[in-house]
Amino acid sequence: MLPALRAALLIPYFILGCTAGLLLCIVRPFHPNNTRDCAKLFSWGRYILGVRMTGLNESPVGNGQAVYLANHQDSLDVFIYPGLLPGNIAILGKKDLMYIPVFGLLFWLARNIFIDRGNKSKAWETMATVANLVNKRACALYIFPEGTRSRGKGLLPFKSGAFVLAIEAGIPVVPICYSSTHKNIDLGRWKSGRALAKYLEPISTEGMTKDDVKALAERCHALMAEGIAELDAQIARENGN
C-alpha cells in the first residue's frame, strides 16, 4: 500500500519538478548551473520516499572540469542523489530523452548533452565531439558508465565512452559511489532507509591515449565497487546488522 501511495505522489511531483525546472531554464537558458539547480528540485522527492540522504561534501575539483562517474541503480535515483551535483556541470544523456514531453526541453535548456548511442561505428568520433564541447564550455560532465540501470544486480561492467571522453578532453575522472538502494531502502516502511554517497579521489588522464581506456575503466570499476561495498557496510553497522 505504502509503495503504491509513494508512486502516486511521485508522478505529480515529477511533473511539478519538470514545470518548475523548465520555467527556471526559460528565464536563464543554458546557464552553467541550470543542471545543478534543477537536480535539486527533483531530489526533494526523497522526502516522499522517506529516504534519509547523507554524504558528499564539496567536490574534490570544486566547480572545475572533470568527468563524474556514478553508479545507476533504478528510476528512483533521480529523486535521491542528483541534489548532490556541483555547479557548472552537464549530464550526458541518450538522444531519446529529447522526445519526452517537457522533460526533453528542460534537459536541453539546462545545457545538458544528447548523444546517439545507437551509432556504435562512430562511438569514438562522437565522444571526441563531446570532449571538444566540454572543453569549449569549460564544464564538468556527469555520466553513468554502466550505460543502463543495474536494478539490484550490483555494479555492471562499464562502457568505454566515459573514459574515451575524459582522455580526449584531457580532464580527470572523479568516481562517485552511491550506496545500494535495493539493499538499504524498503519503500514499505515510513522511514524507508538511508542512502550514502561519497566522492573518490580524482584520477588524472594526463598523458593517456585510447590504449589506456580499458585499464582506466577497470581501475574505476574496481574502486567504485569497493567504495559502494564500504557504504553498504557502514549502513549495515548503523542498523546493527
Positive or negative torsion for Cα 83, 85, 87, 92? negative
Nearest to 153 by CA among 79, 52, 48, 228: 228
Bridge partners, 68 (sequence order): 142, 174
Is pLDDT of 221 > 70? Answer: yes
Domain-wise residue ranges, the chain: 2-238
Give pLDDT tens digits for 62-80: 888 999 999 999 888 989 8
Q: What is the pLDDT of residue 88?
A: 94
Kindly state the average pLDDT of the residues 53-69: 85
Distance CA 20, CA 8 (A): 19
Residue 165 CA to its chain's centroid (Å): 16
Return the pLDDT at 128: 86
How does the average pLDDT of the chain come out, rounded? Answer: 92
The DSSP result for 93-146, as a single string, is EEGGGGGSTTHHHHHHHTT-EEE-TT-GGGHHHHHHHHHHHHHHHT-EEEE-TT
E strands present in the chain: 51-55, 67-70, 89-94, 113-115, 140-143, 173-178, 193-199
Over the stretch 152-178, which tens digit does the pLDDT of each residue have?
888 999 999 999 999 999 999 999 999
CB contact at 8 A, 164 and 213 = yes
Q: What is the pTM of this model?
A: 0.93
Considering the domain 2-238 in this protein, what is its CATH number?
3.40.1130
Cβ contact 84:191 at 8 Å? no
